[in-house]
Amino acid sequence: MEYVHILFVLLVGFIALFIMAKILGKTQITQITPFDFISGIVLGELVGNALYDENTSIWQMLYSVGIWTILILTTEYITQKHKSTRKMLEGEPSIVIKKGKIEFDVLKKNHLDLNQLQHLLRTKDIFSIRECEYAILETDGTVSVLKKPALAVPTISDFKMTLPSVEIPITFILDGEVIFDNLEEVKWDLEKLKMEIKNAGAASVKDVLIAEWRKGEGLYVQLY
């Protein structure tokens, strides 16, 4: 019965947290602020207590998750309506490199040492401080950078070239299964798709790992 109880609690906890994540939206997953970090710890404790504390029922866990969801939604609402609260609840970005110079006082304020700064810069393909004009420490702990003008990647507008149109690739086959909604979007039928993959060497749809189509480039096919 103990193992059945653990299984049941995990299933209920998983479903409850999944529903909560869907309600809160993707930003709670991608933008980990100090407030979100606390949320993760608290939610883990709520499920953990229901697992190992016999005095904590599943209904108490669900009630706690519900209350915590309401608190997070309320906090999000407050920060959206009142800009003055964002700094306290979400934090604010900090300029750690300004005009090529390290702002050491800002580093100390954010408890960031030089080795950590160098690591963050390397994730942005900057291997020397001399390459960086500006670096901003974001609220989620990542860094956004602007390279020095001489080292910045040139753009099409710099060369005064004609801008190509941007087209999103559409997947027709994934793991040997046809995505019919995508076929209908570009007015293809199954017979045409089979003919195209046959020209690429596939005997059937099951032989195709991925088939991706882009306007102006045709169909790309990779077999297993």
CB atoms within 10 A of CB 82: 10
CA dist list (Å): 13 to 48, 70, 84: 9, 17, 35
**In the prediction, which pLDDT does 35 show?**
59
Question: Are 17 and 47 in contact, with CB atoms under 8 Å apart?
Answer: yes
Please report the pLDDT score of residue 6 as a whole number: 66
Q: What pLDDT sits at residue 72?
A: 74
Residue-wise pLDDT tens digits, 94-121: 999 999 999 999 998 888 888 999 999 9
- Predicted local confidence at residue 28, as pLDDT: 46
pLDDT given for residue 27 in this prediction = 46
Q: Is the domain of 144 the same as that of 174?
A: no
What pLDDT shows up at residue 133?
94
pLDDT in the model for residue 223? 92
Residue 54: per-residue pLDDT:
66
Interacting residues of 134 by C-beta distance below 8 A, sequence separation 6+: 95, 97, 98, 99, 145, 146
Residues 109 and 71 grouped into a single domain: no
Task: Report if residue 109 sits inside a domain.
Answer: yes
Question: Taking the model in full, what pTM does it have?
Answer: 0.57
Q: Is residue 162 part of a domain?
A: no
Mean pLDDT by 10-residue block, N- to C-terminus, for the chain (224 residues)? 68 71 54 60 70 70 75 77 71 88 91 90 93 90 90 81 82 93 92 92 93 91 91
Task: Tell me the CA end-to-end span of the chain in Å, nearest whole number.
Answer: 45
Domain of residue 44, residue span: 2-87
Is 68 a member of any domain? Answer: yes
Domain C-terminal end among 87, 117, 142: 87
pLDDT at 30: 47
